[in-house]
Amino acid sequence: MAAIDHHMLLAELGRKVAIPGLAFDEDGYCCLSFDESIVNLEFRTDKRDFLIYAPIGRIEGHPPADYLGRLMQAGYAAALANGGGIGLDHVAGAIMFVHTIPLRGLTPDDFTEEIRRIVDRIETWQRVVEELRHARGAKASGNGQVAADYANGAAVIRG
């Protein structure tokens, strides 16, 4: 049986999501779109891991300090829950989600499931970032509960 490598894992993901011939380019990069989410996937040979990153919101000019504070609180809560991290890319004008997956011991089913979970996290982050943008302080009501949970650290408990 051939050793599992990053090319095989991506090809198998493509088969499972009906994208035949899904492959990395010569630089180990692949860009995917799930609904309205763009997901960038790179294989880093030096670290033997996958780097996944995606824009989850826009950042323009100099956002208010309270908004940046809420983003930092939410990012901290998510990092503690092993849910990836967030950061600002001022060049692209984007708030970015980032996560890594080690290759070691990864099976095709594990990889596909982890990508599914990451896409779910990205979609949640897109909602959280939008809700935090409109929230005043860390309080939100109704539809803003997810953002309030992240900003207040409750997401750590719920994981």
Mean pLDDT on 55-84? 87
Query: What pLDDT, in 10s, does the model give residues 16-34?
Result: 999 999 999 999 999 999 8
CB atoms within 10 A of CB 57: 20
The answer to whether 115 and 44 have CB atoms below 8 angstroms apart is no
Beta strand extents in the chain (DSSP E only): 29-34, 37-44, 49-58, 85-89, 94-102
Kindly tell me if the per-residue pLDDT of 140 is higher than 80. Answer: no
pLDDT band at residue 7 under the 50/70/90 scheme: very high
Output the six-digit token pair for 129: 């970032």
Query: What pLDDT, in 10s, does the model give residues 72-126?
Result: 998 888 888 767 899 999 899 999 999 999 999 999 999 999 999 999 999 999 9
pLDDT number for residue 138: 45
Q: What single-letter amino acid sits at 148?
A: A
Domains of the chain: 6-158 (3.30.1460.10)
pLDDT number for residue 143: 52
pLDDT number for residue 156: 42
